[in-house]
Amino acid sequence: MKAAFVLLALACTVLTAPLAVSQTSTAPPKQLLIELEVPAPVPAVWEAFTTSAGLSTWLGPNATVDLRPGGDWLVHFPGGSTGGGTIVSFEPQKEIVISALAPDKFPTVRAQRTRAVFQFEARGDATVVRLIQSGWQRGAEWDRAYEYLVAGNAQLLAMLDKRFLEGPIDWNVMFGAAPAKKP
């Protein structure tokens, strides 16, 4: 399974904003772009992304989605940490914008958050899922968080792809017994 997961992660295209300096001598804002074609139609991918039941089939067994501006888009990890963020806006089956939480090991970035825009575009019977993450600031912690999330977000989308290639993740098999779902 690990080799297949690595191959899926490598299939993601990771692009960053060019480092060229504009005429005003300021660099363009840093942005993370990952794009992946998922072998499922937009309605199925949208449901997997925007419902608690759907998110729990690929991101984590304790995922919650409250699809409204200000609602949660979260996975609850063992030990009490969360990943994901707060929904800023959405356009059904087209886009969801999240005020994203960085991992706990990046406390400043986690507190200040980035903006993650997930776009969904039909391509035949498949869906192109595009993540554009912006709001990156300058500093060592921000740089470390960016590098960490280049790989982490590619893996996140690879797990979504895997869910449609192989079916929902059986968390009992992956973790032993799935932790109880939080309310």
Q: 84: domain CATH number?
A: 3.30.530.20
* Spatial separation of the C-alpha atoms in residues 91 and 95, rounded to whole Å: 5
Closest C-alpha among 112, 118, 77 to residue 94: 118
Domain-embedded: residue 37: yes
For position 183, what pLDDT does the model report? 53
Q: 107: which residues sit within 8 A by CB, 6+ positions away?
A: 141
Structure confidence at residue 63 (pLDDT): 94
DSSP 8-state secondary structure symbol assigned to residue 41 = -
The predicted pLDDT at position 171 comes to 83
Rounded Cα–Cα distance for residues 139 and 121 (Å): 34
What local confidence, expressed as pLDDT, does residue 148 receive? 95
Q: Residue 85 is encoded by which pair of tokens?
A: 């963020």
pLDDT of residue 27: 60
pLDDT of residue 177: 57
Query: Cα torsion at 33, 34, 39, 40 (round to 10°)?
Result: -50
In total, how many domains does the chain have? 1
**Looking at the domain assignment, is residue 14 inside a domain?**
no
pLDDT at 79: 79
> Domain span at residue 127?
31-166
Instruction: Encode the chain (183 residues) as per-residue pLDDT tens digits.
Output: 322 222 233 333 344 333 233 333 356 678 999 999 999 999 999 999 999 999 999 998 889 999 999 999 999 887 788 999 999 999 999 999 999 999 999 999 999 999 999 999 999 999 999 999 999 999 999 999 999 999 999 999 999 999 999 999 888 887 765 455 555
121 lies in some domain: yes
Query: Residue 20: inside a domain, yes or no?
Result: no
Q: Structure tokens of 174?
A: 């992956």
Q: What is the pTM of this model?
A: 0.81
The string over 24-52, giving b where at least 16 C-beta atoms fall within 10 Å of a residue's C-beta and e elsewhere, is eeeeeebbbbbbbbbebbbeebbebbbeb
